[in-house]
Structure 1
Amino acid sequence: MTGTRTGRRRLVRAGLGVAAAALAGCAAHPGPARRLRLATGPRGGPYNAFGRALARAAAASGQHLEVLPVDTAASVDNLRRLDEGSVDLALAMADVAQDAVLGREPFPRPAGVTALARVYVNYTHLLVPGDGPVHSVGDLAGRPVAAGAAGSGVQVVAGRILRAAGLSGATPAATPAYARQLGLAESVAALRAGTVAALFWSGGVPTPALTALARELPLRFLPLDGYAGPLRERHGPVYTAVTLPAGAYGLAGPVGTLGVGNYLLARDAVAADAVSALLRVVFDRRRDLLREVTAGVRLEPRFAISTGEVPLHPGAAAYYRSVYG
């Protein structure tokens, strides 16, 4: 971990040559606003809310930036769009971003994407009816499970948890859980109707749709922190043990679960001065950007540079170098 931090600091220092030009340019950029297309997520989801808040903040910032949010299926979809060049910026979960950079499934080759910031942490939720028979992940064997929309980061982390639990169908002797590709709204409706036994979600705390569901029917949140070790061994340190706090969703006590960072990403070709200007907006307006996404988050440069295998964009290195002094 110390080596990773040291390498990251060196990368920030390596951006010093870019810093002077980039930061001088973003202070007073002539001409029309620079347009940046941002791949977010489905309407009603946290990525979409963050993207629209960022667009409003950029428009009011005086930085000559225009951020154009694009509705998508979320992380996997966003990284594919970023790599092909149909968008300039994207939001994605850290595990999926790492897979894209390393060219691991579902990406056929390494993607040319860079990180701007680690913006907040997703909490993995696995909830079941409180009066039902499911008390652990193992109890999902043979049952239908809402496991995230196709192309989403939820689908990735849900699949990895089920695989670690022996419920993915990879082991012929085990009875798998039956993963259904459903977005958050569809997952909530399915759990309410009883057509799925459980619902996976990865997002901020509290997630409004789940807060509303918890007011309608008793829910049980299953602990997932025991999977942090196995997933880290197989996929790297993008997974951490975190805690759903008591009081969230009416929980009587804390529940251990998996945390996964969220990255703001950019194509390599995005101008360094535009990236530096965008990050200035992000950190100046960080409280507004995260208000509707997750509670209790502190977005600070010293944490934002922790983007693992995903390299920092030169404009991001320039911005952080200016902050560190």
Structure 2
Amino acid sequence: MSSVRWNRRRVVGAGLGAVGLALAGCSGDSAPAWRLRLATGPEGGPYNAFGHVLARAVAASGGSLEVVPVSTAASVDNLRKLDDGSADLALAMADVAEDAVLGREWFSGPAKAEVTALARVYVNYTHLLVPADGPVRSVGELAGRPVAAGAAGSGVQVVAERVLRAAGLSGGPAPARERQLGLAESARALRAGAVDALFWSGGVPTPALTELARELPLRLLPLDGYVGALREQHGPVYTAVTLPAQVYGQTEPVGTIGVGNYLLARGDVPADAVRALLQVVFDRWRDLLREVTAGARLEPRFAISTGEVPLHPGAVAYYRSVYG
């Protein structure tokens, strides 16, 4: 397993062209074939869709790389699969990835396997949705109410718990009653009145929520007021972003919490396999992002912003070639 830990300053600093990274393996017909298992998310979710599009794009590239998507519970589960060796690649939200690297909260200690980043691929927007004709108009009014707070092992669960904690609703006399439900289950529960609010973290628009809004008028609760508290507690992985007007039928834009999504790899994935994968990612980014979020772009200067998660040496080599 590689023990090299790289950061963005070393990637984009002066004299990049003079610094080389030796890559193992051969070229041409003798190139090794790599079969990499990619931990994605639940069937029907955006990570799962991204993973399948990426696998098809890699296959169409005609190289010696194969990506095999694996359905999972999403971010927390994916980091654990990287650590135990049942996955080689993973998608995860930035907050969960940093927790895994630093051994915080959901992880009892730093990951045994070196977890590295290949790219920050897009930003999730945190949604907190309630029925438009219902009584809830602020996070505080969720006290004592049932809330769909993401599937167990998902990044949605992490950010939902942190928002509720920041709002004083994870304890005390009347905490929000969190129910661990995936997106499809959450939408059904909100439609049926079994929960009073739904948390989601994903691209904009999220198709399942667009469909829900056609059947049930929705209100988006603003969450940008909690960004400062989250950043103070958990670092700059959280940013203030805006959900545009009309995205789910609402008339005004709504401020909320943004969290990056990382494409990750075990540190022992071969560097030249990573370079081959990133070549496909950047060649086909429009197809990949079309599955998860509208209007986003993937650029190297954005992709290397992976916070506390070090870049894989193969990613370093790829970005050096991009920056010249």
Settle same-fold status: TM greater than 0.5: yes
User: For residue 163 of structure 2, what is the aligned residue in structure 1?
Assistant: 161
RMSD: 1.9
Q: CA deviation at 1:64?
A: 1.1
Tell me the SS of whatever aligns to 2:168. Answer: coil
Tell me the SS of whatever aligns to 1:145. Answer: strand
Q: CA deviation at 1:251?
A: 2.0
Question: Does residue 319 in structure 1 map to residue 321 in structure 2?
Answer: no
Q: CA deviation at 1:27?
A: 6.0
Q: CA deviation at 1:217?
A: 1.2
**CA separation of 1:183 and 1:296: change in aligned 2, threshold 3 A:** same
Structure 2: 5+ residue stretches without partners: 1-5
Structure 2 CA distance for aligned equivalents of residues 86 and 15 of structure 1: 35
Match of 2:118 among 106, 116, 119: 116
Number of aligned pairs?
Answer: 316
Cα deviation 1:188-229 (Å, max 9, x = unaligned): 000000000000000000000000000101110000000111
Structure 1 CA distance for aligned equivalents of residues 71 and 199 of structure 2: 21
Instruction: Give structure 1 regions of 4+ aligned residues with deviation exceeding 2 angstroms.
Output: 11-22, 24-33
User: For residue 3 of structure 2, what is the aligned residue in structure 1?
Assistant: none
Tell me the SS of whatever aligns to 1:160. Answer: helix
Q: CA deviation at 1:31?
A: 4.8
Structure 2 CA distance for aligned equivalents of residues 316 and 29 of structure 1: 23
User: For residue 40 of structure 1, what is the aligned residue in structure 2?
Assistant: 40
Q: TM-score, length-normalised on structure 1?
A: 0.93
Question: Does residue 67 in structure 1 map to residue 67 in structure 2?
Answer: yes
Q: CA deviation at 1:259?
A: 0.2
Q: CA deviation at 1:253?
A: 1.3
Q: CA deviation at 1:146?
A: 0.1
Q: CA deviation at 1:62?
A: 2.2
Structure 2 CA distance for aligned equivalents of residues 33 and 148 of structure 1: 37
Match of 1:144 among 124, 129, 146: 146
Counterpart of 1:167, as a letter, is L
Range that drifts further, 259-268 or 30-39: 30-39
Structure 1 CA distance for aligned equivalents of residues 293 and 250 of structure 2: 17
**CA separation of 1:101 and 1:90: change in aligned 2, threshold 3 A:** same
Structure 2 CA distance for aligned equivalents of residues 27 and 301 of structure 1: 25
Cα deviation 1:226-273 (Å, max 9, x = unaligned): 011100000000000000011211221100000000000000100000
Q: CA deviation at 1:157?
A: 0.1
User: For residue 248 of structure 1, what is the aligned residue in structure 2?
Assistant: 247
Identity of aligned residues (%): 79
Tell me the SS of whatever aligns to 1:134. Answer: coil
Alpha-carbon contact 1:118-1:261 (below 8 Å) kept: yes
Structure 1: 5+ residue stretches without partners: 1-5
Structure having the higher helix fraction is: 1
